[in-house]
């Protein structure tokens, strides 16, 4: 597997994990927060590439210091073109109060659609313009056109898939919560 594709794929998965708002189930009203430290475990990762189309299925488990567990199942489809790309991610999150629980206290489904136009390359980055649409518990959210400075060099080179997942998740957590 290409390190760059692996980095981009795991980056999107980790961003989704780190950025998911704590949502209460309409049925149970349960909230299952993860406290620090958080440990990420890659359970399964499969990729299929056919020409300009890459499909990835990933299962990841994040365990908080409080014993709560969030299990993420992600389907990721990326279609690459010469000057643009489309990325669709479907993520289901099951939230358990403890690893011993047989059924989740809360579940959430989130679909993210990214339409990107590739921009100019400056050094080790490419400046893309992206449109993002998210369907989740809060309803549909359309983000305004955003500029994305995308790294072309894989910053986690040499790490195993498991270590990359943990490092990307930790980096995203630090970006979202600089004080913690």
Whether residue 139 is contained in a domain is answered as: yes
User: 104 lies in a domain?
Assistant: yes
168 falls within a domain:
no
Q: Which pLDDT does position 137 carry in this prediction? A: 92
Question: What is the average pLDDT value for the chain, to the nearest integer?
Answer: 84
Domain that holds residue 8: 3-153
160 falls within a domain: no
CA–CA separation, 85 vs 90, rounded Å? 17
Between CA 12 and CA 153 the distance in angstroms is 16
Distance CA 57, CA 130 (A): 23
- In a 13 Å sphere around the CA of 12, the CA atoms on its Cβ side amount to 25
Local confidence band at 119 (pLDDT 50, 70, 90 cut-offs) = very high
Q: Is the pLDDT of residue 6 over 70?
A: no
Domain count, the chain: 1
Based on C-alpha coordinates, what's the Rg of the chain?
17
Pseudo-torsion of CA 22, 164, 96, 94, nearest 10°? Answer: 70
Domain assignment of residue 180, yes or no: no
pLDDT of residue 5: 52
Q: Looking at the domain assignment, is residue 163 inside a domain?
A: no
Q: Does any domain span residue 164?
A: no
| pLDDT tens profile 28-87 | 445 788 888 789 999 999 999 999 999 999 999 999 999 999 999 999 999 999 999 999
Distances (CA, A) of 37 to 29, 87, 148, 167: 25, 30, 29, 13
| 162 in a structural domain | no
Cis preceding-peptide flag for 37 (omega within 30 of 0): yes
């Amino acid at each position: 597997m290409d390190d760059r594709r692996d980095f981009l794929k795991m980056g999107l998965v980790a961003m989704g994990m780190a950025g998911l708002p704590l949502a209460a189930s309409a049925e149970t009203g349960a909230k299952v927060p993860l406290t620090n430290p958080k440990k990420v475990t890659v359970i399964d990762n499969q990729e299929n590439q056919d020409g300009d189309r890459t499909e990835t299925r990933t299962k990841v488990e994040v365990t908080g210091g409080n014993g709560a567990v969030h299990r993420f199942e992600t389907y990721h489809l990326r279609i690459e073109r010469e000057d643009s790309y489309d990325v669709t991610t479907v993520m289901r999150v099951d939230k358990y109060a403890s690893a011993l629980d047989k059924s989740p206290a809360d579940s959430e489904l989130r679909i993210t659609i990214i339409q990107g136009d590739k921009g100019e390359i400056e050094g080790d980055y490419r400046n893309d313009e992206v449109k993002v649409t998210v369907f989740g518990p809060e309803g549909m959210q359309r983000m305004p056109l955003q500029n994305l400075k995308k790294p072309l060099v894989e910053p986690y080179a040499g790490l195993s898939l498991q270590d990359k997942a943990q490092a990307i998740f930790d980096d995203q957590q630090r970006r979202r919560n600089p004080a913690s």
